[in-house]
Amino acid sequence: MQKILSVANQKGGVGKTTTALNVAAGLVKKGRKVLAIDFDPQGNLSDYLRHEADELPTISELLQSAANRELDKLDVGSCVRHNHEGIDYTPSHIVLASAGVFLAQVVCREQVLRKLLSHPAFGSYDYIIIDCLPSLNVLLTNALAASTGVLIPVQTQKFSLDGLRQLEEVYRLVRENVNPNLEIEGVLLTMADNTNMSKAVEAEVRERYGQKVFQTSIRRSVEATNSTYVQESLISARNSKLGAEYQAVVDELLNGR
Ligand SMILES: Nc1ncnc2c1ncn2[C@@H]1O[C@H](COP(=O)(O)OP(=O)(O)OP(=O)(O)O)[C@@H](O)[C@H]1O
Ligand SMILES: [Mg+2]
């Protein structure tokens, strides 16, 4: 069965995009058919994937077409791009930032992405990975409404846990109102290091979320910034420690945890 995973946390800079790309790359390496969706107007995932601006619709126009019931006017399948590492993706665009405006007029505005992803063009993917923006807005609720699971990267830093209650609340509301099948796929500890602070936060997260926390934590390493700089996944980099950690996360995902 197809899995649609939102990588979400409204806190900025916790490793969502790094996780989305490397989980996607790790799944591709394991032979899965994967689509990555950049659902953040900042477009960081698109950059990381080496996307170059083109004439094809971005996720913003696709969403708008779905909202206006005009998807039949587009060749949706041809809107999927392919990156040099074999990852299929739909890029973002800054105009996605105004999605709140056009969605405000739409009935069932939380379910527009869900409707888009139910298009036959997306049916053959084993996994769809959605890189969410750092906000609790209508784009996040769209992502959660369209997903089978949410993957929550949590940086092992002070205050990292503070915002999670709000995210849990949104998760609960989406489950209750639009998507009863939504699961917490996992909590992933990121940027872990040997400081007492990092260890304390890791212990607190493991205490609070138990089995939901991936056994593998992602360590803090300059490899991550280098990876975004050269626009290549950690997974594909030779002898990357973080690449091996992300591949272990993918193994945990595939083993059903
Ligand atoms: N394990 C890591 N160790 C060190 N740096 C990291 C690690 N993971 C990510 N980073 C770096 O931290 C920054 C933020 O990461 P990333 O863009 O993945 O976070 P994000 O949650 O998607 O941010 P935003 O909320 O802005 O979308 C980037 O510069 C990235 O290279
Ligand atoms: Mg991001």
Residue 79: which residues within 8 A CB-CB, separation 6 or more? 56, 57, 62, 90, 121
Query: What is the arithmetic mean of pLDDT over 205-231?
Result: 97
What is the end-to-end Cα distance of the chain in Å, rounded?
16
Q: What is the CATH number of the domain that holds 163?
A: 3.40.50.300
Query: Is the CB of residue 157 less than 8 Å from the CB of residue 191?
Result: yes
Mean pLDDT, to the nearest integer, of 156-182? Answer: 94
Q: Average pLDDT, stretch 141-155?
A: 98
40 lines ligand 1 (CB under 6 A): yes
Q: How confident is the model at residue 104 (pLDDT cuts 50, 70, 90)?
A: confident
Distance 17 CA to ligand 1 centre (A): 7
Give yes or no for residue 233 CB within 6 A of ligand 1: no
The domain total for the chain is: 1
Q: Relative to the alpha carbon of 16, which ligand is closest?
A: 1
Residue 69, Ramachandran bin (φ over 0: left; ψ between -120 and 50: alpha; else beta): left
Q: What is the pLDDT of residues 67-91, one digit of tens each?
A: 999 999 999 999 999 999 999 999 9
Range of the domain at 151: 3-254
Average pLDDT of span 123-141? 97
Residue 52 has pLDDT above 80, yes or no: yes
Query: Looking at the predicted structure, is the pLDDT value of residue 163 above 90?
Result: no
pLDDT at position 164: 92
Mean pLDDT of 61-68: 95
Residue 134's pLDDT is what? 97
